[in-house]
Amino acid sequence: MAATALVALLLYLIGPRLGTLWGPLPKVLWITLLALAGLKTLYLGLLVGSYYGGRNLLPEGLMERGPYLQLMNYTSVLARAFGKRDWVEHAAIDVYNTLAERRGRRVGKGELLVLIPRCLSKQALDGVLEIAGRYEVPVFVATRGQLARRVIRERRPRAVVAVACERDMMTGLRDVAGKLPVLGLTMQLPNGPCRDASIDLTQMEQWVQGLVGAAGTQRRD
C-alpha cells in the first residue's frame, strides 16, 4: 500500500502536466491506480481470511507460492527500517508454512529432500538424522544458499523441508518456493548466529510424516 500511496502522490503532482499531453490521461491513470489498489485490498483480505479461516481461498500459485513471496520481501524491507526485521520475517514465514502445510501434499520418500545448515547442535543434528532415517528420506547439509540451490537442481525433489535462520529462509523461499513446494523450519540460536542452533524436532517430524506418510505411497502433484 505504501507503493500505491507514493504513486498516487506522484500522479497528483504531475497530473496537470500529463493532461497537456492528452486530456483524459490523468483520469485514466487514476482509475487504473484505484483498480489496482482495490485488487491489492481484495488479495490481502483473501490472504487474511485464508490464514485465520482454516481454508485456503486461492490456489497456491496465487498465494504462498505466488504474490505472497513478494509480499514477504516488501514487509522485510519495511520492517528493517523500524528495527523489527527478525520478528516480522519470523511471522511471515509462519503464515507461509501454515498456508503451504494446509495443501496436504504427498510425495514419495525419495522425492522429499531435507536441507539443514552446518550450524546445528549435535543434539539437533542427531534428531534430524534419526527422523530422516525413520522415514527413509535423504538429508543434505547445505553450507551456503548457492550450494543448496545446486543440490535441488541436481536431485530434482518434488518437495523440500528446509532449516535455516529467518534471513536465509526468506532468501531461500524467494528463490525456490515458486518452483517447488517448500516448508521452512526456522532455528533457535541460544549461542548467537551460526553456532549450536536448535530446532523444533517435533515440528520437523510432523512435516516429514505429513509429506511422505507412514508408508510414503501416496503422491500428488
Percent of the chain at pLDDT exceeding 90: 51
Model confidence, pTM: 0.81
pLDDT of residue 91: 93
CATH of domain 71-212: 3.40.50
- Mapped onto helix, strand or coil, the DSSP state of residue 37 is helix
pLDDT in tens, 4-40: 666 666 766 676 776 677 777 777 777 887 887 888 8
What type of residue sits at position 90?
H
Higher pLDDT, 199 or 30: 199
Residue 216 has pLDDT above 70, yes or no: no
List the strands of the sheet with 139-141, edge to edge. Answer: 139-141, 112-116, 159-164, 182-186
φ, ψ (nearest 5 deg) of residue 182: -135, 140
Strand partners, 140: 115
Domain(s) labelled CATH 3.40.50 in the chain stretch across 71-212
What gap in Å lies between CA 46 and CA 53, rounded to an integer?
10
